[in-house]
Amino acid sequence: MTTSSHAAPALTTTSGRGLPDRPPPRRRRRSWAPYAFVAPAVVLFVVFLLLPIGYAIYLSFQGLRLAPGGAFGRRVQVFVGLDNYKAAVTDPEFLAGFGRLAVYGLIAVPFTLGLALLFALLLDHPRTRARRFSRTAIFIPYAVPGVVASLLWGFMYLPSTSPFSWVSEAVGGGAIPFLDLPLLFPSIANIAVWGGVGFNMIIIYTSLRGIPVEIHESARIDGASEWQIARRIKVPLVAPALVLTGLFALIGTLQVYGEPTTLRPMTDSITQTWVPLMTIYRDAFTRDDLPLGSASSVLLALGTVVVSLLLLRITQKRAFGENG
Amino acid sequence: MSASTAAGVLTRPAARTTAARRGRALPTAVLLAGALYCLVPVVWVVVAASKSPDELFSTFTFSPGTGLLANLRDLFAYGGGQYGRWGLNSVLYAGVGALTSTFVSALAGFGLAKYRFAGRDAIFYGILGGVLIPGITLAVPQYLLLSKVGLTGSYWSVLLPSIISPFGIYLCRVYATAAVPDETLEAARIDGAGESRIFARIAVPMMVPGLVTVFMLQFVGIWNNFLLPFIMLSDQNKYPMTVGLYTLLAKGSGEASLYSLAITGAMLSILPLLALMLVLQRFWQLDLLSGGVKG
């Protein structure tokens, strides 16, 4: 991978023997070339990632206060220290949002990963049929935006249009209250599972395909069942893919916004501050308190990074333990 | 597989075949159940889009209705043809955004993979760290910053933040490392090719499968994005499909007739992406993703 650095001087000297005046300008040109290649990305990275983060952090320490002596309630922006952070972490609604996020995530993440792994293993199972059809069918929801998925499922939950409630009523039961507690959590998690299973399945499946066939063959000849092969050989070998999908699922959970927002017109059980991002949106845009919204955004981003790093650390330890 | 089955057939033929049949039925059934689970909402929305507003609430959910054409006509007439605009906007945001993003990622990925230069590792790990920061968490700060320079509410406010994709850059670097041999680059340099020419004529063709993957991931990501345009835009004529359908649904809670429009709109909005995905499916190199963490 790094052979270019070793090969380059050797090659330039050999060609330099024949053409003594050509190598220097070429070397000079190559010294700025890599910077030209990465420059657009670096500029965009700074402008749309680092700068917004920096500005949000700056703004999170500011607050709007009544100007001294301002008779008409003129408000000015002043430095307020950690006031916004205090307000954010003591806002019961913001905290409750994290609680709801946790319940939602505890359903959505294990089901997404579990089903993705199950389907990937079945696709890799030597005796399943209808593999091509199933693979495409399970992948289809990936092409459906979260908002549209919420809309579809929302109508399938809504008593007046729900096929499930129609069946339930036909057999003498009542409409199923999908959009009321306690079913609301699994109902919203189901939308994320539906949308996420296919993509994660493909990642795990391609990773499964990378396992040398001889490994299963020898296990099969030794009399191992498909279940044993899956559990003892395949799952440990695709651990890196599972870590990656787990990380995506987790980050996806922390930024859930579109699904509950889309379902809100259909039910009274979803409040305006149902998940943290909804609270941030309300604070920043409905209440025009940008500093508080910034502080909450910083907290949420920080939480995401910490949780991601924790997950990577834990799983890396486990993966190494299993390999060694 | 053939070796083990052959050995089994030789030893205990009868038991082996029944076991094999049983061993095939259950996995296939579970897999088909998964396929059914994923298809039911899609089938439902196609059927529901064919119903007139009256039929939507009165007939069995999976029996087709008679209102498809009327729904389509109403949908495209809604708000003076706003639905069509939303669709075009989505194509613009996702198409231009993903194309530019893939180009920027390819440049950076190639540069990071194939050159050694001062600051390379700092840039790479900086960008890698950006993968962990959810794009959505950035939407609010990005809004604040863009409002400072007066860009909020414009097409740029949705397009520009969509171009930078840390994950895309990471994938392009992984792919350039694997797919572009150093020897080829050296040979081109000896022949006197400039670095930009080497990139355009040699590296890009070799990276095409990886670039298609990055393009698709970015396209779907932008197409599906809701919060960024929701925050940035206020003019309904600039909305992408996701935000447009949301406003339609939010209004629908007042007037039930808009439900039919939202359903028909949702059905139509799925089709182009579905077609694109099915066509490009075989060019996808998602092993790139699963292999990524190992390296």
- Residue extents of the structural domains in chain B: 2-49, 72-292
Provide the number of structural domains found in chain A.
Answer: 2
- Structure tokens given for A131: 């593999």
User: Cβ B274–A56 below 8 Å, yes or no?
Assistant: no
- Decide: helix, strand or coil at residue B103: helix
CA A249 to CA A193: how far, in whole Å? 9
pLDDT reported for residue B287: 59
Across the range A13-33, mean pLDDT stands at: 49
The closest CB to that of A304, out of B132, B266, B290, belongs to: B132
Q: Which residues of B191-209 are buried (b: 16+ CB within 10 A; e: fewer)?
A: eebebeebbeebbbebbee
One-letter amino acid at A289 equals D
pLDDT reported for residue B290: 53
Judged against a pLDDT cut of 90, whether residue B13 lies above it is answered with: no
Across the range B75-80, mean pLDDT stands at: 86
Asked if A188 and A245 sit in the same domain, the reply is yes
CATH class label, B72-292: mainly alpha
Determine the residue of chain B that is closest to A150 in CA distance: B246
Model confidence over B157-198: pLDDT tens digits?
999 999 999 889 988 998 899 889 999 999 999 998 889 999
CB A246 within 8 A of CB A228: no
pLDDT band of B33, cuts 50, 70, 90: very high
pLDDT reported for residue A262: 87
Model confidence over B128-149: pLDDT tens digits?
888 777 666 688 788 888 988 8
Asked if A176 and A317 sit in the same domain, the reply is yes
CB B215 within 8 A of CB B102: yes
pLDDT reported for residue B136: 61
CB A97 within 8 A of CB A274: yes
Determine the residue of chain A that is closest to B39 in CA distance: A137
Domain finish residue from A60, A76, A102: A60
CB A75 within 8 A of CB A64: yes
Asked if A181 and A278 sit in the same domain, the reply is yes
Asked if A49 and A181 sit in the same domain, the reply is no
pLDDT reported for residue B137: 67
Shortest Cα distance from B233 to chain A (angstroms)? 12
pLDDT reported for residue A12: 39
One-letter amino acid at B81 equals G
Where are the extended beta strands (E) located within chain A?
62-66, 75-79
pLDDT band of A297, cuts 50, 70, 90: confident
pLDDT band of A319, cuts 50, 70, 90: low
pLDDT reported for residue A243: 85
Listed in sequence order, the residues at least 6 apart from A291 whose beta carbon sits closer than 8 Å to its beta carbon are A59, A60, A61, A62, A63, A64, A77, A80, A84
Task: Show the domain range for A34.
Answer: 3-60
Given CB atoms, is A177 within the 8 Å cutoff of chain B?
Answer: no
Classify residue A260: in a domain, yes or no: yes
Domain finish residue from A38, A60, A82: A60
Asked if A54 and A95 sit in the same domain, the reply is no
Classify residue A119: in a domain, yes or no: yes
Q: Which residues of chain B make contact with A244, given a CB cutoff of 8 A?
A: 289-290, 292-293
Classify residue A69: in a domain, yes or no: no
> What average pLDDT does chain A have?
82
Task: For chain B, positions 218-277, list CB contacts with chain A under 8 A.
Answer: 220, 223-224, 226-227, 231, 241-243, 245-246, 249-250, 252-253, 259, 262-263, 266, 269-270, 273-274, 276-277
Residue identified by tokens 């590792």 is B121
CA B240 to CA B34: how far, in whole Å? 31
Residue among B21, B22, B38 with most chain A CBs within 10 A, to mutate: B38
Q: Which residues of A39-58 are buried (b: 16+ CB within 10 A; e: fewer)?
A: ebbbebbebbbeebbebbee
Asked if A182 and A266 sit in the same domain, the reply is yes
Greater model confidence, A61 or B282: A61
What's the pTM value of the predicted model, to 2 decimals? Answer: 0.81
Q: Which residues of A286-314 are buried (b: 16+ CB within 10 A; e: fewer)?
A: eeebbbbbbbbbbbbbeebbebbeebbee
Judged against a pLDDT cut of 80, whether residue A195 lies above it is answered with: yes
Classify residue A139: in a domain, yes or no: yes
CA B183 to CA B192: how far, in whole Å? 14
How far the first Cα of chain A sits from its last, in Å, is 26
Asked if A29 and A168 sit in the same domain, the reply is no
The vertex-B185 CA angle with B183 and B191, nearest 5°, equals: 105
Domain finish residue from A60, A76, A108: A60
